[in-house]
Amino acid sequence: MTLDVVSFNVYVGLRSRGAPVRERAAEFCRRLTELDVDVLLLQEVWTAPLLRFIAARLPSLPHAAWLPGLAGHPAGGLAVLARRPLCPPTYTPFTSARPDGGGLPFRVVSALRCRLQGVLAVRTVDGTLLVGNTQLTANGDGDWSAANRHHGLHRRQVRIVQTALRAAGAHTMPLSVLGGDFNIASSGPLYPEIVEHGAWHDPLADAGRPTYRAEYLPPGRPAQRIDYLLVSGRPVLAADLVLTEPAGSVGFLSDHLAPRVRLPE
């Protein structure tokens, strides 16, 4: 028996391009059903109707974990769908995170984004699996050096994620999985904090394949690996990227590729 886990940013930002999200969702749900996924981590699900639309097309994942935000949307745009029953989740916002640098407009916008973003954690009812799902603030500068204005903000957000996951039982349960759109390049100085200095195993580290599509970047800017599926407690049988190919007239399903890991039950 194996456990198949996928993380996917469905791409519903304010500046999203491409086909309408429901057209793309119908196609990625079809592909995920064919992949026989057991656990799905979703980011940028910013409305409850969109989550219902997606869940209705994934009947093999009948159990959903999310918490409502102020407008009734999934808090942080985050949801987890699973084949097995889930406990009530916890959600920790990034409200205490602040940047070290940048001007006043950047600091104000960052504070607002931190109110909208955070980390979702949920256990399976049988107590064998903990799942963490997150999306950090996007770095539109394309610079992940320690001198960049996002560095301090991202460092604090990552630490909030790790603290929330440890509080939920990460590294003590039989299996813990942490995934999502970290918006931090694996080549940057914060990568050791993403993997908590080795506490998490990053099964796609050696491949080094970008998870953000170059087609959505300014000319000349290299694509980076910014999405992760990290594992603690079990060996990884296989890891790859899925939802990589465009779908006819629908085009790309997202501006992100989807990490997938296969684990022993």
What is the per-residue pLDDT for 13?
61
Helices marked H in 4-100 — which ranges?
21-35, 48-56
Look up the domain containing 175 and give its range.
Answer: 2-264
Question: Which one-letter amino acid corresponds to residue 220?
Answer: G
Cβ-based neighbours of 220, under 8 Å, separated by 6 or more = none
Read off the CATH number of the domain in which 188 is found.
Answer: 3.60.10.10
CA dist list (Å): 265 to 45, 104, 136: 28, 49, 29
Split into its structural domains, the chain has a count of 1
Cβ-based neighbours of 80, under 8 Å, separated by 6 or more = 39, 40, 41, 42, 64, 65, 66, 86, 89, 120, 122, 131, 133
What is the per-residue pLDDT for 183?
98
What is the per-residue pLDDT for 16?
61
What is the per-residue pLDDT for 261?
99
Per-residue pLDDT of the chain (265 residues; tens, 9 = 90+): 899 999 999 997 655 667 899 999 999 999 999 999 999 999 999 999 999 999 999 999 999 999 999 899 999 999 999 999 999 999 999 999 999 889 999 999 999 999 999 999 999 999 999 999 999 999 999 999 999 999 999 999 999 999 999 999 999 999 999 999 999 999 999 999 999 999 999 999 998 899 999 999 999 899 999 999 999 999 999 999 999 998 887 899 999 999 999 999 8
Other C-beta atoms lying within 10 Å of the C-beta of residue 109: 13
